[in-house]
Amino acid sequence: MVVYIFIYILDLQLSSKGSTWDEIDFEFLGNLSGDPYILHTNVFSQGKGNREQQFYLWFDPTADFHTYSILWNPQRIIFSVDGTPIREFKNMESLGVPFPKNQPMRIYSSLWNADDWATRGGLVKTDWTQAPFTASYRNFNADACVWSNGASSCKSNTSPSSASTNRAWFSQEMDSAKQQRLQWVQKNYMIYNYCNDAKRFPQGLPPECNMS
């Protein structure tokens, strides 16, 4: 999925329905003039999130269109910006970590008022005198398994290898160059990682945080 975004107060997500929904989020948080823009990411599985990672970007996202993409397959979720991976969430069901792979999800985009938490922890409120707020998209692309009559088109294949014949992303992973770019982003531009927030998890960090 590739989305081009020209506005920063934006929520873009893949989401299923129900009380145990799955969801994959890209969110641009509001800011004060002159402050860096924050790109907020989160992954929900079976209705449980609390897996936030936040980043500054190495460019002004309001100055031009950029490519924001989510690769989601049964093994991993990769968030990328202009082809550079910024986050990878791997399938760790073997550790008891639910992974979103069994529920169909739709693509949603919205502008919404999150001033109770998004900007400086809710200290900065939305300036409604600047309304209306808009978002623009260009060259949207999506390649996905189609859910119809209770079944996925990918599951009609006998194995992941046969599914990848026409859908390379179905078994795609990052090569060494992409891994290095991911490490560069997380070292230089990540500003929050739930796996480093021990105060938030007094009973112990989530199990995926203990994996390298």
pLDDT in tens, 77-121: 999 999 999 999 999 999 999 999 888 888 888 888 877 877 777
pLDDT band, residue 3 (cuts 50/70/90): very low
Distance CA 159, CA 102 (A): 16
pTM: 0.86
Q: How is the beta sheet containing 190-193 ordered, strand by strand?
A: 106-110, 10-15, 23-29, 38-44, 53-56, 190-193
Answer yes or no: CATH 2.60.120.200 is held by domain 8-64+94-125+189-209. Answer: yes
Active site (catalytic) residues? 23, 27
User: Hey, where are the domains in the chain?
Assistant: 8-64+94-125+189-209
pLDDT band, residue 159 (cuts 50/70/90): low
